[in-house]
Chain A
Amino acid sequence: MDNSKKKTVEPSEEGGKPAAGFNRKEIFDVLSSMLSELLDMKKESFSEDTMIFEELPLDSLQLYELVVDLEEKFSIRIPDEAIEKIQSVGDVVDMIANAEK
């Protein structure tokens, strides 16, 4: 990752990676890898405009797998109310970028 300078703006005291230290591209990259593995689809199948529930065969358990893995990866907390607002892959990127650590 090439934005190590940016990351020092908000160093995490516990040594976890602050979600704010990731830019949209990095978040999207991790997210599309996770979706790819979870759904057994090519990484290139996803864009920020992909509609999660209409276009992807994601069931509710898989949705929570994604949420739990994203929380772990970015050291963030994703409340249920935030999940309910998700529609597109881009919404998930926003949710992670704005999530509470």
Chain B
Amino acid sequence: MDAVEKDFAESLLHIFDNVLLTEEMALSKGYFSDLSIAELHTLNAIGPYEARTMTETANILGITIGTLTVAVDRLVKKKYVERQRDTKDRRIVRISLTRQGKLAYRMHSKFHRVLVKRIMDPLSEEERKILTRTITEIDSFVEEQYKKYSSGEQYKKIVRDDTEV
């Protein structure tokens, strides 16, 4: 690895760790301190509008229905999520965010927006394009690696391990 590559590797790992740490700190000091990052991402996957089925949500998160059921049970208990049975097909359970869940979702997406704004604001139009293209390429590459190693079920475990590094 040459010096540039070394700097790049270090920065990449730093960003990775610090975004997670900052998110966690912001969360623990904020209004929704009873939520973990993984739980917030579950709220994100459910989204603030139409109720989703468990299968849809599990697919978005890349986890099994079993894992999602445990997570949703906890979120229902904390009053962030509610379950409804489909009126036409009682076998289908739909989940949606409560008012409290929608608030947490909105506050969390604000965190992401502020982060992006701070990074993008000092850049020129051209620099933004290059950065976006590069980040998208890194994202696809990391996603590919992740798929190679995991069987979906490890999503939560990975999130937890990363924060411990």
Contacts and interface: CB of A to CB of B under 8 A. Distances in A.
Contacts, number: 24
B110 interface: yes
B113 A80 contact: yes
Contacts of B103: 61, 64-65, 68
Interface of B is mostly: helix
Interface in B6-51: 31, 48-49
- Give the size category of B's interface with A: 10 to 19
A64 B49 contact: no
A60 interface: yes
Interface residues of A, number: 10
Contacts of B48: 68
B99 A80 contact: no
Interface string A33-60: 0000000000000000000000000001
B107 A61 contact: yes
B83 interface: no
Interface of A is mostly: helix
Contacts of A60: 107, 110
B49 A68 contact: no
B107 A64 contact: yes
B102 interface: yes
Contacts of B78: none
Interface of B: 31, 48-49, 99, 102-103, 106-107, 109-110, 113
Q: Which 6 A-B pairs have the closest CB atoms?
A: A64-B106, A68-B102, A64-B103, A61-B31, A68-B99, A68-B103
Given A65-B103, A68-B106, A77-B49, 15 more contacts: A60-B107, A60-B110, A61-B31, A61-B103, A64-B102, A64-B103, A64-B107, A67-B106, A68-B48, A68-B99, A68-B102, A72-B99, A80-B109, A80-B110, A80-B113
